[in-house]
Amino acid sequence: MEAACQLHLLISAAIFFLLTFSFVTVADTQLSASAAEMSEIQRRGYINIAVKDNLRPLGFRNANGNLQGLEIDLARALAVDLLGKADAVKLQPVTNRDRLSAVLDHKVDMAIARVTATTSRSRLVSFSVPYYFDGTVLVTKDTSLQRLSDLTKRKIAVLKSSSTIADVRYYAPNAELVGVNSYQEAFTLLENNAA
């Protein structure tokens, strides 16, 4: 019960922050970035949220094609907090490349799509408090790789538009990066010895 109360407080704080202080800074000019004011969301009766549909366990499609995962649950909890119903949310699957532009172009009200808060991104959008922490891991079938220097001239699959790209370029500057659209695509390249 305490965890549910903490989640409710976290979601409430995030909603307050997003709907009260949401703005975009472009060339030192403040522009409104909220796709809709709270009154508009309440009038229409649902909130538009960009989510991932290819990233287990955060957002993915089950065997029936329905969206599920942690971020989907957060989106529905937000709909309950804002509008009183878990189904008062329109989930818009997005790719990494489209997550921020969907918000900036007013296609959605917000994104809950594993967006890493970075300095450059915070110049464009406001972030809620973190709800998830993760790291980067290198997956390989080649057991001879022992050090980062062993990655020289090796192919490494990375998600397109991922904040991880900068880390990989820093730690393995001579590796060849192969952009992929999903973890599944990266896994397929790994299985086929293409990365």
Question: CATH fold of 2-122, please?
Answer: D-Maltodextrin-Binding Protein; domain 2 (3.40.190)
Q: Give residue 163's pLDDT.
A: 83
Distance CA 166, CA 101 (A): 20
Helices vs. strands in the chain: H and E counts, helices first: 7, 10
Q: Where along the chain do the CATH 3.40.190.10 domains lie?
A: 2-122, 148-191
The mean pLDDT value for 129-155 works out to 88
Q: Give residue 116's pLDDT.
A: 87
Please tell me what DSSP assigns to residue 126. -
Give residue-wise pLDDT tens across range 47-94: 999 999 998 999 999 999 999 999 999 999 999 999 999 999 999 999
Q: What is the CA radius of gyration of the chain?
A: 19
Q: Give residue 133's pLDDT.
A: 84
User: What DSSP assignment string belongs to 49-96?
Assistant: EEE-SEETTTEEE-TTS-EESHHHHHHHHHHHHHHS-TT-EEEEE--G
CATH superfamily for 148-191 is Periplasmic binding protein-like II (3.40.190.10)
- In this predicted structure, the answer to whether residue 35 has a pLDDT above a threshold of 90 is no
